[in-house]
Amino acid sequence: MKNQQLFGLTLGELSELCVEYETKSFTSKQIATWMYKSRVFDISQMSNLPKFFRERLKADFPKLIQPYASVSISKDGTKKYLFEYSGNRRVETAVIPGTDRLTVCVSSQAGCRFGCRFCATGMNGFHGQLTAGEILNQIMAIDEHDKITNIVYMGMGEPLDNAEEVIKSIEILTAPWGCEMSASRITVSTIGIEDKLKDLIEKTRVNIAISLHSPFTEERALLMPIEKSRPIAELLKNISSLDLPRHRKFSFEYILFKGLNQSKAHAKKVGELALRYNARVNIIPFNPIPGLDLEAPSEKDVLAFQEDLTQRGVIATIRKSRGRDILAACGLLAGKK
């Protein structure tokens, strides 16, 4: 257990730690309460733990959470934090205020190995996994940590390429001994890795968003190389028996690019898929990335695409582009550093 971080351990792992330290097992719950509920990160202040135990813990885990390295604030109120973890792993965390909510967008990996054509994170390559503690650190170490209403796993990296740590972080966020957050306020966005997606569905109640971006195989493969080895049509067929929308929101993420995937034929096919799988569609106007030949759609085209889907009976929303002045596309800030 030594060499591990204390912050980010589940109750089960904390119990193992207590056995290792030969201390009473109920102490595990006390540590979890201090870290995840009371948000106390100085072990010497965990006053109901025996003094000798606090001293040993503090010697073995001198630092529980890591402060952010920098923060940028957009004119529209969006904030982007940069964390610099050991091993040259830089990750971004975005805070997006809304009228009645405050959403935090967390990263699950430093970089990404999937190389989607439209993504700044993918362009910069893969630099390492994050532990559950490093994922949660992005939530606890930001200035707004006590005002967060929603969490989305849509930052740097593919969450299901780091499924074990992502699921662990969700367990801590939602457990009665942890942060006690409702799973309905958490969304995991994935390009679709079937076996890991099944794990996520079975072990959590979070909302699921699948990155579609094109309903046509060849075109999706040009945008997202994963389509060649793991076609989305097969994934959807195989997970449909799990009756996804019963306990959670299920949606398709659809980045709209100018002149590429915004035609009537696209809307028709996306609409068919959405109705077949009982999914909503979240339309995301592309945020231009320097050096890429993909362009943002006009506002008129975005509205027309939404209207087309709505006419077909699909719930379609548009995600506003936020924080353009602070390098809004995910991965740009970490890459720039």
Tell me which residues are annotated as active site.
92, 330
Task: Please give the Cα distance from 109 to 121 (Å, whole number).
Answer: 10
Examine residue 284 and tell whether it contacts ligand SF4 (CB under 6 A). Answer: no
Among 61, 114, 216, 277, binds ligand SF4 (CB under 6 A): 114
Q: Which residues contact 111 (CB under 8 A, 6 or more apart)?
A: 89, 121, 124, 125, 126, 127, 128, 156, 157, 331, 334
Percent helix, strand, coil in the chain, to 5, is 40, 20, 40
Examine residue 192 and tell whether it contacts ligand SF4 (CB under 6 A). Answer: no
Q: Which residues contact 157 (CB under 8 A, 6 or more apart)?
A: 91, 107, 108, 109, 110, 111, 112, 121, 130
* Strand-pair partners of 33: none
Examine residue 212 and tell whether it contacts ligand SF4 (CB under 6 A). Answer: no
* Strand-pair partners of 72: 80
- Which of 158/165 has CB closer to ligand SF4? 158
- Cα distances from 301 to residues 268, 308, 329, in angstroms, run 15, 10, 20
Among 91, 105, 116, 334, binds ligand SF4 (CB under 6 A): 116
Q: Which of the stretches 89-97, 108-116, 198-206, 243-251 binds ligand SF4 when contact is defined by CB under 6 A?
A: 108-116
- Which of 115/245 has CB closer to ligand SF4? 115
Examine residue 122 and tell whether it contacts ligand SF4 (CB under 6 A). Answer: yes
Q: How many residues bind ligand SF4 (CB under 6 A)?
A: 10
- Which of 209/267 has CB closer to ligand SF4? 209
What does the chain come to in residues? 337
Task: Please give the Cα distance from 27 to 53 (Å, whole number).
Answer: 10
Examine residue 225 and tell whether it contacts ligand SF4 (CB under 6 A). Answer: no
- Which of 116/167 has CB closer to ligand SF4? 116
Examine residue 128 and tell whether it contacts ligand SF4 (CB under 6 A). Answer: no
DSSP state of 21: T
CB of 137 to ligand SF4, least distance (A): 19
CB of 232 to ligand SF4, least distance (A): 13
Examine residue 191 and tell whether it contacts ligand SF4 (CB under 6 A). Answer: yes
Q: Which of 78, 191, 95, 190 is CA-nearest to residue 151? A: 95
Examine residue 159 and tell whether it contacts ligand SF4 (CB under 6 A). Answer: no
Q: Which of the stretches 3-11, 112-120, 256-264, 300-308 binds ligand SF4 when contact is defined by CB under 6 A?
A: 112-120
CB of 158 to ligand SF4, least distance (A): 4
Q: Which of the stretches 8-16, 116-124, 179-187, 261-269 binds ligand SF4 when contact is defined by CB under 6 A?
A: 116-124
**Helices and strands per DSSP (H, E), number in the chain:** 13, 12
CB of 176 to ligand SF4, least distance (A): 32
Task: Please give the Cα distance from 323 to 245 (Å, whole number).
Answer: 31
- Which of 124/262 has CB closer to ligand SF4? 124
Return the ∠ at Cα 43 (arms to 38 and 49), rounded to 5°. 85
Torsion of Cα atoms, 252 then 255 then 258 then 263, to 10°:
-10
Examine residue 112 and tell whether it contacts ligand SF4 (CB under 6 A). Answer: yes
User: Residue numbers of the site for ligand SF4 (CB under 6 A)?
Assistant: 112, 114-116, 119, 121-122, 157-158, 191
